[in-house]
Structure 1
Amino acid sequence: MPMPPLPVEEPQALLQRLARDAYKRGSFTLASGRTSEHYVNCKPVSLSGHGLALLSAAMLSHVEPDAVAVAGLTLGADPLVSGVAMAAALAGRSLDALIVRKEAKGHGTGAWLEGPLPAPGALVTVLEDVVTTGGSSLKAVHQLQNAGYVVRRVVTIVDRDEGGASAMQNAGLELVSLFQLSQVAACSEEIAA
């Protein structure tokens, strides 16, 4: 018998956690090479027990009902795919987790994907911590598609509103964001005030 699902707390509780523990203001160089006064590192939230429980329940609610797995590019998505798969299991839903490597494994099978691989043609939802230009998400999507899987949706914790949504749309993908950067920044200012 499945356990009861994890509680989906108010989105405001998750937003406050992200604003307090994941957001910084200053001068930063992003993975895309761009500089920004806003920095979001979701790992202090996604690698904490309570934070991962909040994120997993929120992200699971946006995973397509017919998806058989969630996947994401290592390292940011590692806790997310594991947490969402666990939240699904607790809710009685079968959903596996896949980790997409940044480069093929240099030994053994040379695999790009880790985890219980679904049958070719299966639907997989991609999870991401932060989307800026969409490059990391698209890398994961392309590896999954090259392996024979169908990807239609990317679910991210924070969209920085710097072209990622357009890049997804141009690739025929839907981007679902739990929060926009402007929401996280505004909440951080409220907390500081």
Structure 2
Amino acid sequence: MNPIAQSKDSSREKLLSLLASNAYRHGTFTLSSGKKSNHYVNCKPVTLSGFGLVLLSDLFLPHVEEDSIAVAGLTLGADPLVSGLAMAAAQQERTLNALIVRKEPKGHGTEAWIEGPLPPKGSVITVLEDVVTTGGSSLKAVSQISKAGYKVNRILAIVDRQEGAAMEIQKSGLLLISLFNLDELVQRAKDISS
């Protein structure tokens, strides 16, 4: 049972406030995509907090496809997401394993790209992402998962920076579902600071 006894709307509002307070910064930044931006979103202070991860997992779980038997994402941003979601699913007696996709293959042993309890080939896996800008990191994870013989239909993200990720992901035949967009985060940060 989820320890947070509240509506999904309340959970969403609390998570948005946590992100605005702890993950969002205004200034001059270079993003992982190489783009310059006045807005920086680092979700790790929220996703690595117990309360933030519980809220997030509770909000993500309904968006994971019913036939998905695993969630996966590119390390490092997705590591807490996949673990939290696997645990939230288990609390609801749903089997949903966590997989971590490496940025480069392991340099020794099996030289694996994907770590975790691997499902049977052909299984549906939902990809998780903290922040999407261009969609490049998400699509890299999808590529490795697909090469390993699994099917991906959707990507779940905490924040869509609204800089083309949705279009790129859609071009790849996938659905992007984001809990928040950058405009919402910026507005909440302004509301909190005023």
The structural deviation recorded for 1:72 is 0.1
Give the aligned partner of residue 137 of structure 1. 138
Q: Do 2:11 and 2:55's aligned partners in 1 also have CA atoms closer than 8 Å?
A: no
Specify the alignment match of 1:74 in structure 2: 75
Return the TM-score normalized by structure 2.
0.96
Matched with 1:27 is: 28
CA contact (8 A) 2:74 2:129 kept: yes
Given that residues 6 and 91 in structure 1 are in contact (C-alpha distance below 8 angstroms), is that contact kept between their aligned partners in structure 2? no
Q: 1:158–1:177: 8 Å Cα contact kept in structure 2?
A: yes
Contact 1:6 1:57 in 2 (8 A): no
Residue matched to 1:54: 55
Q: In structure 1, what is the Cα distance between the partners aligned to 2:175 and 2:3?
A: 26
Aligned-residue sequence identity (percent) comes to 61
Structure 2 partner of 1:104:
105
Alpha-carbon separation, structure 1, partners of 2:2 and 2:40:
32
Q: What residue is the counterpart of 1:168 in the other structure?
A: 169
Which 4+ stretches in 1 moved above 6 angstroms?
none
Amino acid at match of 1:76: G
| SS of equivalent to 1:10 | helix
Q: Work out the CA distance in 2 between the residues paired with 1:36 and 1:98.
A: 31
Q: Distance in 1 between matches of 2:12 and 2:81?
A: 17
Distance apart, 1:10 and its partner CA: 2.8
Query: What CA RMSD, in Å, does the superposition of the two structures yield over aligned residues?
Result: 0.8
Q: Give the aligned residue type for 1:103.
A: E
Kept in 2, the 8 Å contact 1:126–1:155? The answer is yes
The corresponding residue for 2:186 is 185
Structure 1 pair 82–169 and aligned structure 2 pair: CA distance change class (3 A) = same
The 2-side partners of 1:60 and 1:106 are apart by 33
| Distance of aligned partners of 1:66 and 1:6 in 2 relative to their CA distance in 1, 3 Å threshold | farther
| Structure 1 position 5, deviation (Å) | 3.5
User: 1:111-131 CA deviation, whole Å, 9 max, x = no partner?
Assistant: 000000000000000000000
CA distance in 1, matches of 2:167, 2:77: 21
Deviations 1:2-27 (A, max 9, x none): xx245444311111110000000000
Distance 2:30 2:182 in 1: 16
Question: Which segments of 5 or more consecutive residues in structure 1 lack a partner in the other structure?
Answer: none
Tell me the equivalent position of 1:123: 124
Three-state SS of the structure 1 residue aligned to 2:68 is coil
